[in-house]
Structure formats: structure tokens, C-alpha cells
Amino acid sequence: MQLVEPRPSRPIPIRITPLIDVVFILLVFFMLTTRLLPVDYLELANDTASRTSATGEPLPELTVIASGEVRWREQSFTLDRLVKSLTSAGIGEVNLATTNNTPLGTFTRTLSVLNDGGIETHWQRTRPPTP
């Protein structure tokens, strides 16, 4: 003898109201915690057009070539020799450029060595010519 009737199998309805509440709470949370500035751009203080040196002379132009050496005054220098030459000449601020085939690692190593040597370095990214 069966005392309890079996329950008919019917789909259990999903209540959507609590889900909507959770979505709105998450939406408000992310709206309040997100910065409204564009984050895909990195601001760098590398604009040398408005800067002038105290003597009125232009800043020395250094060019990093693909081999890792740096050209200055139509001569190629290693990084250690370049820093010694710049400090002995009393130069504390330079503009840095690269050739089109210079690897990024070479550029960043040069930038780090110059900054560690006490030389303020400015650089501006130029786009390679389109073929």
C-alpha cells in the first residue's frame, strides 16, 4: 500500500528576479570602481619641442642602432663608453632615437643605462616609413 502519491515530474521554474538583482548590483559596483580615463594609452613626458637647454644649444642627438651601439657625433659608442663620454663632456640631457631595425630590448637597455648614469633622456616614437 502506497501512502504518498509520487510527485509528477514537472520542470521547476527558475525565478529570474534574484538574478536581475545580482546583475544590477554588479553593474553598479563596476560603474563605481572603474576609471573613466582611457587605459590603452600610456602618458610619457617625452615632448622635447617645448624644452630648451639653459645655454640655448640643442640637445645632443643619440641614435641606437640594431647592434646595440649608439651613434653620437658620427661615431659609434658602446653604452659604457658613451655614458663616460657624455658625463665627461658635461652633458646631462639628450634626445634618443632609433633606427628602423633596432630591437625594443636594445632600446630599453640603452634608455636604462643612460638614466642610471644620471643622464636625462628624452625620446619620441617615430613611425617607420610605409613601403
Q: Are 64 and 97 in contact (CB under 8 A)?
A: yes
Instruction: With respect to residue 111, please indicate whether it lies within any of the assigned structural domains.
Output: yes
Instruction: Give 41's pLDDT tier (boundaries 50, 70, 90).
Output: low
Give Cβ neighbours of residue 105 (< 8 Å, ≥ 6 apart): none
Instruction: With respect to residue 79, please indicate whether it lies within any of the assigned structural domains.
Output: yes
CATH at 71: 3.30.420.270
Instruction: With respect to residue 94, please indicate whether it lies within any of the assigned structural domains.
Output: yes
12-23 tens-digit pLDDT: 777 888 889 999
Instruction: With respect to residue 46, please indicate whether it lies within any of the assigned structural domains.
Output: no
Is the confidence at residue 69, as pLDDT, over 70?
Answer: yes
Task: Output the pLDDT for position 126.
Answer: 62
Q: What is this structure's pTM?
A: 0.53
Is the confidence at residue 28, as pLDDT, over 90?
Answer: yes
How does the average pLDDT of the chain come out, rounded?
Answer: 80
Instruction: With respect to residue 112, please indicate whether it lies within any of the assigned structural domains.
Output: yes
Instruction: With respect to residue 69, please indicate whether it lies within any of the assigned structural domains.
Output: yes
Is the confidence at residue 66, as pLDDT, over 90?
Answer: no
Domain total for the chain?
1
Task: Output the pLDDT for position 50.
Answer: 57
On the 0-12 / 13-18 / 19+ scale of CB atoms within 10 A, 114 is: buried
Q: Which residues does residue 122 pair with via DSSP β-bridges, in sequence order?
A: 95
Instruction: With respect to residue 101, please indicate whether it lies within any of the assigned structural domains.
Output: yes
Domain holding 117, by residue range, is 61-123
Instruction: Give 60's pLDDT tier (boundaries 50, 70, 90).
Output: confident
Instruction: With respect to residue 83, please indicate whether it lies within any of the assigned structural domains.
Output: yes
- C-alpha to C-alpha distance for 36 and 42, rounded to whole angstroms: 15
CA 97, 101, 107 angle in degrees (round to 5)?
A: 45
